[in-house]
Structure 1
Amino acid sequence: MTEVRHQYATVSGHRVHYREAGPREAPVLVLLHGFPTSSRMFRSLVPALADRFRIIAPDHIGFGHSDTPAHDAFPYTFDALTDVTEGLLRHLGITRYAIYVQDYGAPIGWRLALRNPDAITAVVTQNGNAYEEGFVKEFWLPVRAYWDNPGPDTEAGVRAALSLDAIRWQYLHGVARPELVDPETWTADHRDVSRPGNDLAQLALFRDYATNPPLYPEVHAYFRESQVPLLAVWGAGDEIFGPEGARAFANDLPDAEIHVIPGGGHFLLESHLDTVAGYMRGFLTGVGQPSA
């Protein structure tokens, strides 16, 4: 059985939980989760890759087993989440690493890359958006309304995303075989976002997501200038970030490896773990990572 270590580190006064596995001397792969989950989404991917990589999978502040300070005690912004992730990697002595980004993990990963392009050895994006083409209009309408005019009239549309039904939908929409998705995923996520005061933290992040699309031109320039090796593996049925978001990476990275997976949704690992892990092993080996 693969040994997965559940660790904690204090970063800028906050206790950060992270999963770690694999040989400490191996190439580092940092897994960055999305909303509304935690490093729990990588519970099966970590052991599937730990023979080849030193894997670090943190819970962002406000998620999972990391600290969840009140919204007025921590700036719930993507810049601040990136600060904590950067601080954790510095604490661990990690200076070069590949990233896997999904959903909220993408804007954190792009910020890490913009701050220190030389640190990033490769990118795996699994339904982690970087292009306007990726936004599914119907899903984002209430979110964009909240960006434009945050207040009681628009808050209900985004607060609904914290409900059990909405979180279940994120896991099951577009999935051809929903029986493969463990119900514990959405019940655990709902439990976590329902902790006292966490709703206000999540609303703050919904508002701050408005800072991400304006960053895209800088991200695209980073792609063009660095030609960082990139694998996009995407659930075709995702109605949050659609498949055009995967294909758009080729605009700036013509050598990007892009796979759109039929029957997969937003949380592709839940139904297509072996497919994703297989593509990752081949891709990361092909761009110079050591073989098992």
Structure 2
Amino acid sequence: MNHEEYRARQDTVTVDVDGHGVEVAYYEDGPRDGEPLVFVHGIPTWGFLWREIAPAFTDEYRVVVPDLAGYGSSEQTDGFDRSIRAQEQVIEGLVAELDIGTPLNLVSHDIGGGVASRYAAHNPDAVSTFVVSNAVCYDSWPVEFINDLGLPSTGDLPFDELEEDLDFAFAGGVHGDESEHAEFIEGMKAPWMTEAGRRSLARCAVATNTNHTTEIDYAAITADTLCLWGGDDILQPVSYAERLAEDVSGESEVVTLDDAYHWVMEDRPKAYREELRAFL
């Protein structure tokens, strides 16, 4: 499905972030009494990142894919924190407001991996299986490109220049011919190409705080853990996956997918689905 079709499938719920009610968009499908399977995206993406993955599991699982606060179809005002510490509250609120039973199967990417790691460490009984893909952890982030987007000037950047910057991340960041990923590239850029979206992107980018992953007690994560990694990623190298797998307390393994950069679920969707299903 394209990003417009995906957005038409989303609903919204209000969750509490530091005492502020924030409207959060989410995609949901599958049997309500199925095992919960929650997907968490990173920056500068949104739930559409999982379009080739999440729908494949709705035959068996209750699939829920939120847009983090400030991202995608979620609220984009200036009234709340966007750090991964705050986004952990988004996951907690989503689980409560949608009455998603725990323990969860939790799948994450990029800063979504940092969000999910915090949630899994602070709520070990609430996560049974944990998947992290090319995720921020320890001191692996932020990266220069995202830091630059966090400058106040991004809020006033001409849209053609903003699109060039996003093309650097998406069109230049996929493996192989970018024409084969046109739907993904267009969908990833779409939420940011409005005045509110452009401002929100700057707020999301400046909220990237390394302290929020260096403070995590990764040994408190008791869920069985799969580090499912794009093997050619230079932003989040596989060495961090290996360190994470060593530190968690649950059973763990590292699986790398060749011919895949940071957007591993876009570069190798079939292999990603197969590895995820086998792990679950």
Q: TM over 0.5: same fold?
A: yes
Is the CA contact 2:12–2:23 (under 8 Å) kept in the aligned structure 1? Answer: yes
TM-score (norm 2): 0.81
User: What is the RMSD computed on CA atoms of the aligned residues?
Assistant: 2.9
- Superimposed CA distance per residue, residues 124-182 of structure 1 (whole angstroms, 9 cap, x where no aligned partner): 111112233x45xxx835667x7xxx877xx77xx89x832332333355644234742
Q: Name which of 260, 267, 273 aligns with 2:269.
A: 273
Which residue number corresponds to residue 99 of structure 1? 106
Aligned mates of 2:168, 2:84 — CA distance in 1: 24
Q: Within 5 Å, which residues of 2 pair with 1:1-292? A: 6-12=10-16, 13-69=21-77, 71=78, 73-94=79-100, 95-132=102-139, 134=140, 140-141=143-144, 163-173=162-172, 175-179=174-178, 181-210=180-209, 212-213=210-211, 215-223=213-221, 226=222, 228-253=223-248, 255-284=251-280
Secondary structure in 2 matching 1:9:
strand
Segment of structure 1 superposing worse, 114-123 or 244-253: 244-253
Secondary structure in 2 matching 1:98:
strand
Aligned mates of 1:273, 1:232 — CA distance in 2: 16
Segment of structure 1 superposing worse, 56-65 or 170-179: 170-179
Distance 1:33 1:141, change over 3 A: closer
Secondary structure in 1 matching 2:128:
strand
One-letter amino acid of the structure 2 residue matched with residue 216 of structure 1 = T
Shift of 1:185: 2.4
One-letter amino acid of the structure 1 residue matched with residue 231 of structure 2 = A
Aligned mates of 1:151, 1:66 — CA distance in 2: 22
Shift of 1:239: 2.3
Shift of 1:267: 1.1
Which residue number corresponds to residue 290 of structure 1? none
Distance 1:209 1:151, change over 3 A: closer
Is the CA contact 2:131–2:228 (under 8 Å) kept in the aligned structure 1? Answer: yes
Segment of structure 1 superposing worse, 255-264 or 199-208: 199-208
Shift of 1:16: 1.9
Is the CA contact 1:172–1:181 (under 8 Å) kept in the aligned structure 2? Answer: no
Is the CA contact 1:173–1:239 (under 8 Å) kept in the aligned structure 2? Answer: no
Shift of 1:221: 2.8
- Superimposed CA distance per residue, residues 247-275 of structure 1 (whole angstroms, 9 cap, x where no aligned partner): 22232148422111111011112121110
Aligned mates of 2:12, 2:201 — CA distance in 1: 22
Aligned mates of 1:97, 1:103 — CA distance in 2: 19
One-letter amino acid of the structure 2 residue matched with residue 270 of structure 1 = E
Q: Sequence identity, in percent?
A: 25
Segment of structure 1 superposing worse, 113-122 or 7-16: 7-16
